Amino acid sequence: MPLEMGLDKLPLGIPGQVTQMAENMPLTQRLNQFGLVPGTRICCRYRTPGGSVTAVEFRGAVVALRTRDMAAIRVEV
């Protein structure tokens, strides 16, 4: 039974797969260029001490995002 959640809730080190991304957002467009689209396998790697910025890994690259913005990306585990 797959579990769906916002990417901001995905615990560090647990791999997930993107199911849905908020459309018409500048961040979504940017991430699409980076190769992050629905279906991409993704994993959160590390956070800042306060937890407000997270480094996520997908397609072999690591990208830093604000945790708050990551709620717009839905993933399933």
Partner 1 sequence: MGRPVEHKLTVALAGNPNVGKSTLFNALTGLRQHTGNWPGKTVGVAQGQLDYRDTRFTLVDLPGTYSLKGTSPDEQLAGDYLQENQADCTVVVCDGSCLERSLILALEILMRCPKTVICVNLMDEAMRHGISVCPHKLSNLLEAPVVFTSAGKGEGIPALLEKIRETALQMPKLSLPCWDDPISAAEKIAGECICQNPDCDQSFRRSVDKLLVSRRVGVPFLFLVLLGIVWLTVWGANYPGLLLQSLADYGYGLLSGWATVLPGWLGGLLVDGVYAVCARVICVMLPPMAIFFPLFTALEDIGYLPRMAFLLDPVFARCGGCGKQALTLCMGLGCNAVGVMGCRIIQSPRERLNAILTNAMVPCNGRFPTLILLGSLFFTGSGSALVVAFCVALGVVGAMAVSFLLSKTLSKGEASTFCMEMPPFRRPRLGQILVRSVLDRTVFVAGRALLVAAPAGAVLWALSNTGLLKLVADFLNPVGLFLGMNGVILLAFLFCLPANELLLPVILLSITQAQSLQAVTGVGYALLGSFFTWQMALCTMVFTLFHWPCGTTLMTVYRETHSIKNTAAAFILPTAAGMLLCTLLNFFL
Q: Are 17 and 76 in contact (CB under 8 A)?
A: yes
* 49, 73, 75, 77: residue in contact with partner 1 (rule CB under 8 A): 49
CA atoms of 36 and 39, how far apart (whole Å): 8
* 31, 42, 44, 75: residue in contact with partner 1 (rule CB under 8 A): 31
Q: What is the DSSP string of 31-55?
A: HHHTT--TT-EEEEEEE-TTSSEEE
Q: Which residue has the tokens 């830093």?
A: 64
Q: Is 22 in the site for partner 1 (CB under 8 A)?
A: no
* 14, 15, 46, 76: residue in contact with partner 1 (rule CB under 8 A): 46
For residue 29, the minimal CB distance to partner 1 (Å) is 7
* 6, 29, 76, 77: residue in contact with partner 1 (rule CB under 8 A): 29
